[in-house]
A and B are shown apart, each in its own frame.
Chain A
């Protein structure tokens, strides 16, 4: 009988120690990363072919417009205009009429666009003196708009 009592006492002590050693676990935290990658996209519109009326000193040339854009922060869509500045006679290229492409800020050469809706209205300007001195005939020139997506300095 003594042996049995001793065993029971030992069992209770062991149980009490176990309960102390394995208390409820502390609060835990686990991290999860949320991510997404969005590729840059944009749509830019440049002026179409435009006919200039005789003697018109200012002709609407449409606009350069960023109509849709999802670009990286600190990036821009840069548009650069390359124009010779002279309309050439189709029969004799040595006969020219000087012109310029201008925005409200003056001669248009380059501009940076960032958000959809940004645009620059353009005009083709020919001085009256150029008209006055021009030979008869058809004149034309081709301008090039270069579009570049780049980080801003």
Chain B
């Protein structure tokens, strides 16, 4: 009999502890940070080639280049935006008074000084590509014509 009392006393003694443990509220926060990341591929060099159309008009063009992105991981409300900065004139060796205007198209869209947007991309692992098209008319002078354009890559905090 003495043995039974001892066991009961132990049960009573432990019960309040168990009840207290069940009433306690404990929260665990699980967080994860996915850093923005992307790969952008732009042309290193664009060489305009002489083109002769059926009417005999000579132009200098290149439609073999593109800008592409892949493994884009940005915010769901963000856009990866690529714009172009250029004076849209090719300079020729040996003179300061003549330059050759040229145009740029990204897909079906004209890229200009007033509308410099090349492409907008959103989160996607697969490759996203925008074809580029450069063109200039037949210049007055012979020579080597060059210009440098700048592709600007930025993340906008909005869906475009």
Chain A interface residues toward B at CB < 8 A = 1, 4-5, 8, 11-12, 15-16, 18-19, 22, 24-25, 27-41, 70-75, 115
Contact = CB atoms under 8 A, between A and B. Distances in A.
Give the interface residue-count category, chain B.
35 or more
Contacts of B50: 38
B149 A36 contact: no
Contacts of B47: 35-36
Contacts of B45: 32-35
Contacts of B44: 32-33
Nearest to B28: A8
Given A8-B29, A24-B36, A33-B45, A71 B141 contact: yes
Contacts of B147: 33-35
A74 B94 contact: yes
14 contacts: A4-B26, A12-B29, A28-B153, A29-B153, A30-B153, A32-B45, A32-B149, A33-B46, A34-B48, A34-B146, A34-B147, A35-B45, A39-B142, A115-B140
B95 A73 contact: yes
B94 A38 contact: no
A19 to B, nearest CB: 4
A16 B74 CA distance: 18
B95 A36 contact: no
Given A15-B31, A34-B134, A36-B60, A73 B94 contact: yes
